[in-house]
């Protein structure tokens, strides 16, 4: 039986499981990227996708390439860490944030927001616009981090394809945007470029949720649709990291399909808005 014959849906055989384990272990030992605690099903799909894209017969062959050729590493990393995101994704979340969370932030002398796993930055700019519209831009610092350097480079540019802007506009309006969305961007024939928004107070940096620790105390942490790729242990670990990075009374925002059911015990959150997955750390 050859590997090519297997379809996506075929469950991995034992050998492939071993190979994937070895690959992840190799990736960690050689480069320090720790995907060992990611959900295996997703990882396997992505690794096999990469293996096929590189026209390699086995995962072991992919491992060999990765250990010896950094070009392969970058492509695999990109595959493993690529995420879907859009501006004002789940507009109701941003609406709730605007209407319910922002009033509570208003009185703070300084607001620090952390986008953990910001990917290509769509949400970061969404948040920045929102903060600006709420008149908090002066005292707000947004930190956007992701493991994927390529995604970060893209995020820093703040250029998003025109082909998606109609959806973004709709999202913006649904999320309660106060102005015309077109006031925030200029376009060319390919991209919409967002004006330098909160430029001084917007920081992009690489950060690995799996291996890196807390780097500040935040009033808001958004970590949406990031942990769904993590296995339960890692989710708990990241939850603890987020909890420990949160100021008392701070808010954490999760993805619409994520719940705190899997949080480790002992994290004292109050369900601030359960439908929008906004939780508040008890004081």
Contact footprint for other proteins (CB under 8 A): 9, 39, 41-42, 45-46, 49, 78-79, 82-84, 86, 161-167, 169-170, 173, 178-183, 185-190, 192, 225, 228-229, 255, 257-259, 261-262
Cβ contact 221:116 at 8 Å: yes
Nearest-approach distance from CB 84 to other proteins, in angstroms: 4
- What whole-number distance in Å separates Cα of residue 28 and Cα of residue 74? 14
Ordered strands of the 218-223 beta sheet: 202-206, 140-146, 111-116, 218-223, 246-254, 278-281, 269-273
Query: Which tokens hold the place of 191?
Result: 């991209």
Identity of the residue, 85 or 140, whose beta carbon is nearer to other proteins in the bound complex: 85
CB 243 within 8 A of CB 281: yes
CB of 272 to other proteins, least distance (A): 19
Decide: residue 103, CB within 10 A, 0-12 exposed, 13-18 middle, 19+ buried: exposed
Question: Which CB sits closer to other proteins, 15 or 53?
Answer: 53
Cα separations in angstroms, 56 against 6, 42, 63, 202: 14, 19, 10, 41
Nearer to other proteins, 214 or 231 (CB): 231
Residue 26 or 176 having the CB closest to other proteins: 176
Q: Of 36 and 40, which has the nearer Cβ to other proteins?
A: 40
CB of 97 to other proteins, least distance (A): 19
Encoding tokens for residue 83?
């995420």
CB of 33 vs other proteins, minimal distance in Å: 18
CB of 122: closest distance to other proteins in angstroms? 12
């Amino acid at each position: 039986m050859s590997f090519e014959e297997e379809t996506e849906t075929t469950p991995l055989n034992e050998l492939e499981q071993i190979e994937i384990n070895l690959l992840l272990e190799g990736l960690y030992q050689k480069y320090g990227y720790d995907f060992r605690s990611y959900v295996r099903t997703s990882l396997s799909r992505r690794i096999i996708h990469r293996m096929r894209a590189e026209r390699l017969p086995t995962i072991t062959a992919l491992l060999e390439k990765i250990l010896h050729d950094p070009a392969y590493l970058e492509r695999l990393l990109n595959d493993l860490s690529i995420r879907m995101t859009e501006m004002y994704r789940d507009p109701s979340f941003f609406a709730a944030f605007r209407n319910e969370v922002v009033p509570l932030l208003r009185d703070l002398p300084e607001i620090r927001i952390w986008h953990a796993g910001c990917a290509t930055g769509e949400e970061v700019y969404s948040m920045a616009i929102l903060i600006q519209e709420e008149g908090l831009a002066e005292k707000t610092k947004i930190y956007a981090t992701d493991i994927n350097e390529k995604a970060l480079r893209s995020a820093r540019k703040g250029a998003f394809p025109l082909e998606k802007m109609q959806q973004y506009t709709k999202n913006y309006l649904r999320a309660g945007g106060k102005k015309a969305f077109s006031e925030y961007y200029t376009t060319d024939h390919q991209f919409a470029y967002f004006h330098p928004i909160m430029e001084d107070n917007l920081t992009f940096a690489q950060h690995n949720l799996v291996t890196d620790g807390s780097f500040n105390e935040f009033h808001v942490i958004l970590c949406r649709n990031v942990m769904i790729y993590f296995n339960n242990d890692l989710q708990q670990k990241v939850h603890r990291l987020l909890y420990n990075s949160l100021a008392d009374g701070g808010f954490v925002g999760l993805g619409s399909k994520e719940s705190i059911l899997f949080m480790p015990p002992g994290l004292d959150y109050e369900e601030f808005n359960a439908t929008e997955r906004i939780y508040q750390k008890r004081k």
